[in-house]
Amino acid sequence: MSKQDFPKVVSIPNPLYQSLKGRYFVGQTETIRLGEGKNAWGGLLNPSDSNVDLFVNAFTITNHSDQPIEALIWFNPGPLPNRMNSKKVTPANTAIHPLPMPKVRLAFGEIVGLPKRGVNAFKRIVPPQSTLTADEDGKYIFPESGSFVIFLVSPTNELIDAEVAYGWFEKRVCKKY
C-alpha cells in the first residue's frame, strides 16, 4: 500500500467542534460577595422552554480574599432567590454572523443557607488569592429545567469577593411525540 492510499483523518477536540458549530459559550458572573451570614452562587440554568440540553464543559472560581472558599457544586438546586442574569456572556466563536445567542442563562446571587432541593454532588476548596479551574469535557448534562450551580461559602464568615465563570455548549433536543 502506498502513502497515497491512506485516508487523511483530522481529529479536533469536542469544544472546538462545538465552537465551530456556534454552540459553545463562555461567560462569568459579576463580582459576588459572600460572608457575614450569606453564601453566594453562580450557575448555569437551563430554562424549561429552551429546547436544548446543557453540557457543562469548564468552570473557574476566582477568590480575591486572603481566606479559602468552600465551593459546593450542586446539580438541580432550587429555588434560587435573588437571581440576576449575567451580561458577561458571549459565543466562543465570534466569526459567525449573526452571533448565536445561548438559550441557557448564566445567573448569580446571594442566599442564606443552602438549597433545599437538588444534590450537592461534590466540593472544592479554592485557595486564597487564586483561581480554581476545572475542565469537565461536557460530561455534566442537564435537560430543560436542569441546572449546574456553584455555591460559595466563607468558612470564617468573613466578607469575600469572588467570580464564577463557565464554558458550556448547547445541543438541540430532538423531541419525539
pLDDT at 97: 95
Would you give the DSSP letter of residue 37? T
| 13: Cα within 13 Å, side-chain hemisphere | 9
Q: Classify domain 27-172 by CATH number.
A: 2.60.120
Distance CA 63, CA 120 (A): 21
Distance CA 152, CA 39 (A): 6
Burial class of residue 57 (count of CB atoms within 10 Å of its CB; 0-12, 13-18, 19+): buried
Helices (H) and strands (E) in the chain, counts: 1, 12
Given a contact cutoff of 8 angstroms between Cβ atoms, the answer to whether 158 and 13 are in contact is no
Given a contact cutoff of 8 angstroms between Cβ atoms, the answer to whether 89 and 26 are in contact is yes
Distance CA 60, CA 163 (A): 8
* Adjacent-strand bridge partners of 153: 70
Alpha helices in the chain (DSSP H): 14-20
pLDDT 10s per residue in the chain (177 long)? 566 778 888 899 999 999 999 999 999 999 999 999 999 999 999 999 999 999 999 999 999 999 999 999 999 998 888 899 999 999 999 999 999 999 999 999 999 999 989 999 999 999 999 999 999 999 999 999 999 999 999 998 899 999 999 999 999 997 664
CA distances from 92 to 46, 77, 114, 167 (A): 18, 27, 32, 9
The one-letter code for the residue type at 8 is K
